[in-house]
Amino acid sequence: MRDLESPRTSSQKYAPLDWSDYFDREDDIQIPDSDDVFHVYMAGTEGPVVFCLHGGGYCGLSFALAASKLKEKARIVAMDLRGHGKSATQNDVDLSIETLCGDVFSVLKTMYGDAPPAIVLVGHSMGGAVAVHIAAKKSFPSLAGLVVVDVVEGSAMASLIHMQKILSNRMQHFSTPEKAIEWSVKSGSLRNIDSARVSIPNTLKYDESKKCYTHRARLEETEQYWREWYEGLSEKFLSSPVPKILLLAGTDRLDRALTIGQMQGKFQMVVVRHTGHAIQEDVPDEFATLLLNFISHNRIGPHGIEIPGLRRPPQSKP
């Protein structure tokens, strides 16, 4: 028997899935005194806020499948970063670390004002670098935890010389979103078809002149910022004063500072087997379980670190 998919079954297999099957709602966060609007997806009603930052070229829906499990015990917010997904900014290629950190601070401030709930910051790849820089600034008092997904300074810095080649070798144009989903799975960049069906369509834009879909994020135009994402990342990660966990897809990634830090018990590390770079997409249930265990183990509640036996006084306004 020939093992060939007919075009019909292939297009059904790679048909886009709607975000609303995983998140409860979406919103556009208009930053005051600017024209920047950041798109967020939200789920859950109680517990700390798990605030998710995706990697370069991905989008907030990268966390969709994990959100459907996380929302049982936490509130999830997944943001489309500048130049990605449905966010719209005055300069989509300014991916400097200061600008990206400023965007996240602005969204948190606009959403929660001066009394934010406990925030567990989760970042994948480029988003992981942003999360670490934010935590290291120590200027967000309600930050209660830091989760970094598959990014380590040493290997990230070493890979930068290959980045332009990797970007140029990607398939650039797709006749339909289904074709882009199929390519992302068959190329191995994502290993979970359902996650690709949710997240990939939002990483595309339609090119009217070429009558096809192409990548929304113009990463090849942002090379001037790449080094600053990762330089000094290990020390910044170790210096952030909150509980932290590093999730890795491979064991050969720890540099000297992190190896020493791990031996000293400064952070938790988990190597997640049988997954690619996008751990949260490839094994969303395992990813969600790791996050919920991290929150539980560190007793992170809706208002911060919960100390057993200590009753919080009711919040009374002066």
Which pLDDT score, from 0 to 100, does residue 1 have? 42
pLDDT confidence bin for 311, thresholds 50/70/90: low
Catalytic residue IDs: 125, 150, 277
Counted domains in the chain: 1
81 within some domain:
yes
The percentage of the chain sitting over the pLDDT mark of 90, rounded to a whole number, equals 78
243 within some domain:
yes
* DSSP track, 43-100: E-SSS-EEEEEPPTT--GGGGHHHHHHHTTTSEEEEE--TTSTT-B-S-TT---HHHH
Which pLDDT score, from 0 to 100, does residue 309 have? 61
pLDDT tens sequence across 119-131: 999 999 999 999 9
CATH number at residue 281: 3.40.50.1820
315 within some domain:
no
Residue 109 is part of which domain span?
19-167+226-298
Q: How confident is the prediction for the chain on average, in pLDDT?
A: 91
Main-chain phi, psi angles of 200, to 5 degrees? -60, -45
316 within some domain:
no
Residue 97, token pair as written in the block: 């670390």
pTM comes to: 0.92
213 within some domain:
no
The percentage of the chain sitting over the pLDDT mark of 70, rounded to a whole number, equals 92
Q: What is the average per-residue pLDDT within 211-223? A: 94
42 within some domain:
yes
Least confident of 130-139, 164-173, 282-291: 164-173
Q: Identify the burial level of 34 via C-beta atoms within 10 angstroms of its C-beta, where 0-12 means exposed, 13-18 middle and 19 or more buried.
A: exposed
Residue 318 has pLDDT above 60, yes or no: no
* Higher per-residue pLDDT: 181 or 250: 181
Which pLDDT score, from 0 to 100, does residue 168 have? 86
pLDDT tens sequence across 75-110: 999 999 999 999 999 999 999 999 999 999 999 999
Residue 5 has pLDDT above 60, yes or no: no
Q: How far is CA 45 from each of CA 107, 117, 141, 210, rounded to the nearest angstrom?
A: 19, 12, 22, 43
259 within some domain:
yes
303 within some domain:
no
Residue 312 has pLDDT above 90, yes or no: no
